[in-house]
C-alpha cells in the first residue's frame, strides 16, 4: 500500500485549514510531498460576478486565485511549523469531487475536511468529504475538528473479515508504525436476530458461545491475512460484543486516528459505502481514514 503523495482539498475554511495541518504532519511522518488543491467554480452570486467583472483575462483570474491559495497555505504551514515539508499549491476549475479524486488517483492519500465553505465561494461543499470517501480510488482521510495539542499514541482499526477491512488493517499498521503508536484492532459482533426466523427469546448459551468463538476466529484470521503479528508489543486485539459502529466510536475516543474499510459485510452488498464507515466519518471524535478495497472502486460522475 505504497503512498506517493498527500493530496489535500483546500478552500481556506477552518475545516480545510485543519485538513491541511493534518496533511502536513502526515507528509512529515511519511516523508512525502503535500499538494494543496483548491477547486474553483463560479457560483453566480453578485459578489462573484463583480469579482469576475473586475478582471481582464482568465490568466489574471488564475493568477489571483493561485496567489490567494498560496498565501493561505503558507499561513497554515507557518502555524504548524511545517516549513520542512515540501508543499505546493494548485487551483483547478470544476466540481471538487471528481477533480480531487482524479488528482489523487489510487496511490495518493486524499485528505479533506469534514465541511467546506459551501457554494458562496464556489469551492468545497459540505458533502464533498462524504462523496470523496464514496468514490475515491484510494484511501481518504476525513479530518474532524481541531487536533489536540498532544498525540494519544494510538491508532484504532475495525475489522470484520472483509477484503476492505483487511486493507484497512494493513494501512493502520503502517500509520501506527509511522507514529510510533500502539495499534488497537477491533472486531465487534452482535447476537443474531431471531425474529426473521419466526422465533423469539434468547439463544441457548451453547449457540452464544459458538458465535463468540467464530468472532474470535474472524479477528485472528483478519490479522493473519493482513500479515500483522498479534504478539508484537503495542498491538492489541479487542473482541467486543455490540454494534460495530458503536464499539468503534467508543474505541476511537482519545485516539489519533480511526481506520475503517469502505464497505464491510454488513448491509446490502450493492452499497458503495457501509454504514460503519458512514457513521465513522460523521461522528468520530478523531480523524478517520477510509481505505478502499481496489476491487470496489467506482468512478464519480
Q: What is the pLDDT of residues 142-153, one digit of tens each?
A: 998 666 666 779
Residues 6+ apart with CB under 8 A from 194: 200, 201, 203
What confidence tier does 121 reach under pLDDT thresholds 50, 70, 90? very low
CA distances from 88 to 33, 91, 216, 255, 258 (A): 8, 10, 46, 29, 27
Task: Give, to the nearest 10 degrees, the angle between helix 275-283 and helix 244-251.
Answer: 30
Strand segments, DSSP code E, in the chain are: 5-9, 34-40, 87-93, 108-113, 140-143, 154-158, 182-189, 235-241, 257-261, 288-291
Question: How much is the mean pLDDT over the chain?
Answer: 83
pLDDT at 99: 95
CATH T-level topology, domain 5-143: Rossmann fold (3.40.50)
pLDDT of 59 higher than 80: no
Helix (H, G, I), strand (E, B) or coil at 76: helix
The fraction of the chain above a pLDDT of 90, given in percent, is 57
Tell me which residue of 183, 152, 189 sits closest to 169, measured CA to CA: 183
Task: Give pLDDT, residue 117.
Answer: 54
Confidence of residue 272 (pLDDT cuts 50, 70, 90): very low
d(CA 9, CA 185): 29
In this chain, the answer to whether the domains covering 5-143 and 154-296 adopt an identical fold is: yes
CATH of domain 154-296: 3.40.50.620
Q: Which of 33-37, 56-60, 218-222 has the lowest mean pLDDT?
A: 56-60
Rounded mean pLDDT, 242-263: 91
pLDDT greater than 60 at residue 122: no
Say whether 164 sits in a helix, a strand or coil.
helix
Residue 147 neighbours by CB under 8 Å, 6+ apart: 18, 21, 22, 287
The separation between CA 152 and the C-alpha centre of its own chain, rounded to angstroms, equals: 18
40 vs 5, residue with greater confidence: 5
Enumerate the domain spans of the chain.
5-143, 154-296
Amino acid at each position: 500500500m505504497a503512498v506517493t503523495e498527500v493530496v489535500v482539498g483546500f478552500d481556506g475554511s477552518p475545516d480545510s485549514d485543519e485538513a491541511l495541518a493534518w496533511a502536513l504532519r502526515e507528509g512529515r511522518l511519511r516523508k512525502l510531498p503535500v499538494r494543496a488543491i483548491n477547486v474553483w467554480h463560479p457560483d453566480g452570486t453578485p459578489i462573484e460576478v463583480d469579482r469576475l467583472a473586475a478582471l481582464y483575462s482568465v490568466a489574471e483570474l488564475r493568477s489571483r486565485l493561485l496567489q490567494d491559495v498560496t498565501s493561505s497555505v503558507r499561513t497554515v504551514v507557518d502555524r504548524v511549523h511545517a516549513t520542512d515539508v515540501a508543499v505546493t499549491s494548485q487551483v483547478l476549475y470544476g466540481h471538487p469531487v471528481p477533480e480531487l479524486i482524479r488528482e489523487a488517483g489510487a496511490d495518493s492519500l486524499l485528505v479533506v475536511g469534514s465541511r467546506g465553505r459551501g457554494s458562496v465561494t464556489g469551492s468545497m461543499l459540505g458533502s464533498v468529504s462524504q462523496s470523496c470517501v464514496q468514490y475515491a480510488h484510494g484511501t481518504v482521510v476525513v479530518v474532524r475538528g481541531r487536533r489536540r495539542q498532544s498525540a494519544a499514541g494510538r491508532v484504532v482499526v475495525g475489522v470484520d473479515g472483509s477484503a476492505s477491512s483487511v486493507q484497512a488493517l494493513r494501512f493502520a499498521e503502517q500509520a501506527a508504525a509511522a507514529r510510533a503508536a500502539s495499534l488497537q484492532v477491533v472486531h465487534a459482533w452482535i447476537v443474531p436476530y431471531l425474529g426473521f426466523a419466526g422465533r423469539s427469546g434468547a439463544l441457548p448459551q451453547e449457540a452464544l458461545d459458538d458465535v463468540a468463538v467464530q468472532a474470535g476466529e474472524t479477528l485472528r484470521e483478519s490479522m493473519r491475512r493482513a500479515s500483522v503479528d498479534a504478539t508484537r508489543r503495542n498491538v492489541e486485539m479487542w473482541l467486543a460484543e455490540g454494534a460495530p459502529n458503536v464499539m468503534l466510536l467508543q474505541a476511537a475516543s482519545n485516539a489519533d486516528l480511526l481506520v475503517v474499510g469502505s464497505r464491510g459485510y454488513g448491509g446490502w452488498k450493492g452499497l458503495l459505502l457501509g454504514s460503519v464507515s458512514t457513521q465513522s466519518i460523521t461522528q468520530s471524535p478523531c480523524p478517520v481514514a477510509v481505505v478502499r478495497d481496489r476491487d470496489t472502486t467506482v468512478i464519480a460522475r
